[in-house]
């Protein structure tokens, strides 16, 4: 019992002072990019009815959700993903409007994943959802926002892999594959489990041409030339239309001048069922998993009784932090400007002056009043505080520069 009282469960962790400051700064930069593109903040509940995240809504497996009952016997879940919550909110709160909606959010999600996967079970998502527009320009804009967000936090070496759910669905249609095998095949291809893919296709007795295309799907990976290669493998109109759209999206991304961050992976057939068009993931050094996931989900809102096209993404802030730390990228965070010391006689004046300085934007921390100056100097240096104001009397204040260790006693009136 005592051991559990002092430790956190697997998959969750404490975030201490300096790291919390860095996380806050990373989140601030990401959200600033969202706002510059005209997206507005929304907040959804941390827990919802399980129906919002049911299998029909195309979210993660129910077994990976944290479930509990409310006092009325309803099954609730801690949200495993924020996108379905935003879709529900859109369908219920904005169903009477026919103009596009630009939503952005920042919040924690929860997934009860296996401990051996070594992933966080509580993690922070920062994302956007562009609802009401079905166009290549909307798809390209969303990917450009991802890239600008990652650049804003200091990442330089990263890659956005783009796939196309429509291409995969077209291939399945052309091969005549029964829809009941689609999810299993998608999962195996996404995991790049080639042996299992071949075994499944053999058991379905597909002709060699269609079998070869599906087996070769993970090989369609690389620059824009991959799109032309993929076009030569199919005559299916749905698959070809998906590839044509992908090509047009790439051309728009060139206009954004971000093509150096783009690659294509037509074997990326996400296990998130609600993606209907482009699907993409972002990768960088220092983490073994994607730092951003997104795509087009034109049918998700239908699950909530409101039909509208949509595209969006979620940045996994915790994975971004891991990458930044392992790539030794500096994140400047604010520190305390001044440590304030005073005695009984100078207290009223010192507090008044400190309040005035705070209103002007400075960070003023009251020091250890029961300790001597030398101990406060040591404390200030340890915590990267700029200096000390030690009010000796109503007339005199001792100023200590903690970087140079220079000390001066000046008239209080000279402070302003």
Q: What residues form the annotated binding site for L-histidine?
A: 81-83, 111, 125, 129, 274-275
With beta carbons less than 8 A apart as the criterion, state whether 45 and 86 touch.
no
Instruction: Work out the burial of residue 257: count CB atoms within 10 Å of its CB; fewer than 13 is exposed, 13-18 middle, 19 or more buried.
Output: exposed
Cα–Cα distance measured from residue 320 to residue 286, given in angstroms and rounded to the nearest whole number:
9
Spatial CA neighbour of 88 closest among 296, 276, 311, 300: 300
Buried b (16+ CB within 10 A) or exposed e, 313-331: bbbbbbbbbbbbeebeeeb
E-only strand ranges, 26-116? 40-41, 47-49, 67-69, 75-78, 101-110
Determine the straight-line distance between the first and last CA of the chain, rounded to whole angstroms.
Answer: 57
Q: Which two tokens stand for residue 175?
A: 């091969």
Binding-site residue set: 81-83, 111, 125, 129, 274-275
Cα–Cα distance measured from residue 81 to residue 6, given in angstroms and rounded to the nearest whole number:
29
Cα–Cα distance measured from residue 224 to residue 99, given in angstroms and rounded to the nearest whole number:
33
With beta carbons less than 8 A apart as the criterion, state whether 87 and 300 touch.
yes
Specify the residue for token string 């005209």: 38
Cα–Cα distance measured from residue 75 to residue 60, given in angstroms and rounded to the nearest whole number:
16
Q: What are phi and psi of 44, to 5 degrees?
A: -120, 160
Pairing of strands 122-131, 310-316: antiparallel
- Collapsed DSSP state (helix, strand, coil) of residue 125: strand
Give the torsion through C-alpha atoms of 103, 108, 109, 111, to 10 deg. Answer: 160
């Amino acid at each position: 019992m005592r051991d559990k009282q002092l430790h956190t469960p697997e998959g969750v962790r404490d975030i201490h002072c300096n790291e919390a400051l860095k996380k806050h700064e990373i989140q601030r930069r990401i959200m600033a990019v969202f706002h510059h593109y005209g997206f507005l903040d929304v907040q959804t509940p941390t827990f919802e009815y399980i129906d919002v995240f049911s299998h029909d809504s195309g979210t993660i497996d129910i077994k990976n959700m944290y479930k509990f009952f409310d006092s009325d016997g309803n099954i609730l879940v801690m949200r495993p993903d924020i996108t379905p919550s935003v879709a529900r909110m859109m369908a219920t709160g904005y169903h009477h409007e026919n103009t596009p909606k630009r939503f952005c959010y920042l919040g924690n999600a929860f997934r009860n994943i296996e401990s051996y996967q070594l992933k966080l079970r509580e993690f922070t998502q920062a994302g956007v959802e562009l609802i009401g527009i079905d166009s290549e320009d909307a798809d390209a804009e969303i990917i450009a926002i991802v890239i600008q967000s990652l650049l804003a936090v200091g990442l330089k070496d990263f890659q956005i892999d783009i796939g196309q759910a429509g291409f995969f669905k077209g291939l399945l249609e052309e091969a005549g594959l029964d829809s009941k095998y689609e999810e299993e095949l998608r999962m195996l291809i996404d995991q790049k489990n080639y042996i299992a893919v071949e075994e499944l296709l053999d058991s379905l007795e597909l002709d060699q041409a269609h079998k070869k295309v599906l087996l070769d799907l993970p090989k369609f990976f690389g620059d824009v030339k991959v799109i032309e290669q993929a076009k030569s493998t199919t005559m299916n109109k749905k698959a070809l239309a998906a590839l044509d759209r992908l090509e047009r999206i790439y051309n728009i991304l060139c206009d954004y001048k971000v093509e150096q961050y783009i690659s294509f992976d037509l074997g990326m057939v996400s296990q998130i069922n609600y993606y209907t068009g482009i699907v993409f993931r972002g990768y960088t050094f220092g983490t073994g998993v994607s730092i951003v996931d997104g795509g087009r989900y034109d049918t998700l809102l239908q699950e909530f009784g409101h039909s509208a096209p949509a595209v969006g993404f979620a940045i996994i802030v915790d994975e971004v932090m891991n990458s930044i730390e392992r790539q030794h990228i500096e994140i400047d965070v604010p520190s305390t400007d001044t440590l304030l010391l005073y005695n009984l006689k100078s207290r009223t004046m010192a507090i008044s002056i400190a309040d005035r300085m705070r209103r002007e934007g400075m960070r003023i921390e009251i020091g250890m009043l029961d300790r001597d100056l030398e101990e406060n100097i040591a404390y200030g240096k340890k915590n990267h505080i700029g200096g000390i104001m030690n009010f000796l009397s109503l007339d005199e204040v001792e100023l200590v520069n903690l970087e140079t260790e220079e000390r001066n006693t000046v008239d209080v009136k000279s402070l302003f």
